[in-house]
Amino acid sequence: MSIPSDLEIAQKATLKPLDDIAAAMELPSHLLEMHGRDVAKIELDAIDVMADRPQAKYVVVTAITPTPLGEGKTTTTVGLGQAFSHIGKRGVVAIRQPSMGPTFGIKGGAAGGGYSQVVPMEKFNLHLTGDFHAVTSAHNMLSAVLDNHLYQGNAAGLDPYRVTWRRVLDVNDRALRNVVTGLGGRMDGVPRESGFDITSASEVMAILALSTSLEDMRARLGRIVVGYTGDGDAVTAEDIHGAGSMAALMRDALKPNLMQTLENTPVLVHSGPFGNIATGNSSIVADRIGIHCGDYLVTEAGFGADMGAERFFNIKCRTSGMVPDAAVVVATVRALKAHSGNHRIVAGKDLPPALLEENPDEVHAGGANLRKQIENMRIHGVSPVVCINAFPTDHPSEHAAIREIGESMGARVAVSTHFTDGGAGGAELAEAVAEAANEPGDFRFLYADDAPLREKIEAVATKVYGADGVDYAPAANTSIDLYERNGFSNLPVCIAKTHLSISSDPKLLGAPTGWRMPVREVRASVGAGFVYPICGDMRTMPGLGKQPAAHSIDVQPDGTIVGLF
Contacts of 282 (CB under 8 A, 6+ apart): 94, 95, 96, 209, 268, 269, 270, 271, 272, 299, 300
Q: Categorize the per-residue pLDDT at 481 as very low, low, confident or very high, splitting at 50, 70 and 90.
A: very high
Specify the pairing of strand 158-163 against strand 225-229: antiparallel
pLDDT at residue 540 in the model = 87
1 pLDDT more than 60: no
Is the predicted pLDDT of residue 479 greater than 70, yes or no? yes
- What is the average per-residue pLDDT within 309-326? 98
Confidence of residue 278 (pLDDT cuts 50, 70, 90): very high
Greatest Cα pair distance in the chain: 71
Q: Which amino acid is at 479?
A: S
Higher pLDDT, 182 or 564: 182
pLDDT at 139: 98
Provide mean pLDDT across the span 407-432.
97
> Which of the two residues, 107 and 302, has the higher pLDDT score?
302
pLDDT band at 253 (very low <50, low <70, confident <90, very high): very high
pLDDT > 90 in the chain, percent: 86
Q: Where are the alpha helices (DSSP H) in 193-309?
A: 203-210, 214-223, 243-250, 284-290
Flag whether 68 is marked binding: yes
pLDDT of res. 62: 97
The alpha carbon of residue 336 and the mean position of all alpha carbons in its chain are separated, in whole angstroms, by 22
User: In the prediction, which pLDDT does 347 show?
Assistant: 75
462 annotated among ligand-binding-site residues:
no
The model's pLDDT over 355-372, given as tens digits with 9 standing for 90+, comes to 889 999 999 999 999 999
Angle at CA 539, nearest 5°, toward 470 and 299?
80
Q: How many helices, marked H, and strands, marked E, lie in the chain?
A: 21, 25
- Which pLDDT band, with edges at 50, 70 and 90, does 415 fall under? very high
pLDDT digits (tens, 9 = 90+) for 294-313: 999 999 998 999 999 999 99
Contacts of 241 (CB under 8 A, 6+ apart): 145
Half-sphere exposure of 53 (CA within 13 A, CB side): 19
199 touches 139 (CB < 8 A): yes
Residue range 6-11: average pLDDT? 90
pLDDT at position 270 over 60: yes
Q: Is 74 annotated as a binding residue?
A: yes
At 526, the pLDDT band (50, 70, 90 cuts) reads very high
The pLDDT of residue 24 is 96
Q: What's the confidence (pLDDT) of residue 101?
A: 85
- Quick one: pLDDT band at residue 70, thresholds 50, 70, 90? confident
pLDDT computed for residue 69 by the predictor: 83
How high is the pLDDT of residue 549? 86
**Checking phi first, is residue 189 left (phi over 0); if not, alpha (psi -120 to 50) or beta?**
left
Alpha carbon of 446 to those of 300, 315, 385: distances in Å? 20, 10, 20
Question: 486-514, pLDDT tens digit by residue?
Answer: 999 999 999 999 999 999 999 999 999 99
Q: How far, CA to CA in Å, does 432 sit from each of 387, 402, 427?
A: 9, 16, 9
* pLDDT tens track for 222-244: 999 999 999 999 999 999 999 99
392-409 average pLDDT score = 96
What percentage of residues in the chain have a pLDDT greater than 70? 99
How far is 296 from 313, CA to CA, in rounded Å? 18
First to last CA, the chain: 18
Residue 120: is the preceding peptide bond cis (ω within 30°)? yes
* Mean pLDDT of the region 321-336: 97
pLDDT per position as a tens digit, 113-170: 999 999 999 999 999 999 999 999 999 999 999 999 999 999 999 999 999 999 999 9
69 is in an annotated binding site: yes
